[in-house]
Homo-oligomer: A and B are copies of this chain.
């Protein structure tokens, strides 16, 4: 999706949050914001918001001389999710429909984001999976697609959350499933190191998308990634950044995400906080502004 004018204040809000997470003092935080403000006039609104995030987080890493500012948050998120894994696996095992249960748990895994939510909130959400409702849940279409798939590509999102993706992937139980992570640290997105730590390779092939962008910017992804992207019958894209970077490509991608921004919510007639598991052809755009 294209960038909307309302994304600009949000970019700066995220910049401040990230600058604070790095431990930068206020003078350095101000310097980071100034540098981000300077590049906004040259940023094309034809680009998707994660393309701006790439630039913002490059500025933050450079000015703080910290290649992985979210390392501690990622480690804590991983630990938290791994601790929840046995309980959640039990829920899937005893569910009437294990796959449906695993999809929902993977979706809720999106709340394991210690940069945004505290531990109590995350625990409450994860323990309450039986009450979890999706605003749109194209489960029938999805299971049909899975049953006929020769190659599945699963695009991961954050560290920690990917433990719950593993549970979903275990339940899909497909012999040719690729799990893609970012090619380098950006925000709290999962990298190969995180996926290996969680033993995802026991159930799928872990690959890098070859970029340091949050989301999946196809024109920047590696050849290895694109080969698998092109041959996959089913693509599952997790999280809002993957939605923002892939919702206009000509593929029938299954987006599994929570709507976290009012611009996207307004565009498709949903609410901030709603959960979706659907393809783009099921979403009706109500608002043409700049998207």
Residues of A whose CB lies within 8 Å of any CB of B are 5-6, 8-10, 12-13, 16, 26, 29-30, 33-35, 37-38, 40-41, 45, 289-290
Contact = CB atoms under 8 A, between A and B. Distances in A.
Copies per complex of this chain:
2
B40 A34 contact: yes
Interface SS, A side: helix
A134 to B, nearest CB: 30
A30 B45 contact: yes
B34 A5 contact: no
B5 A13 contact: no
Nearest to A16: B5
A13 B12 CA distance: 10
A16 to B, nearest CB: 5
Contacts of A5: 16, 26, 29-30, 33
Contacts of A289: 26
7 contacts: A5-B26, A6-B16, A8-B37, A12-B12, A34-B41, A37-B37, A37-B38
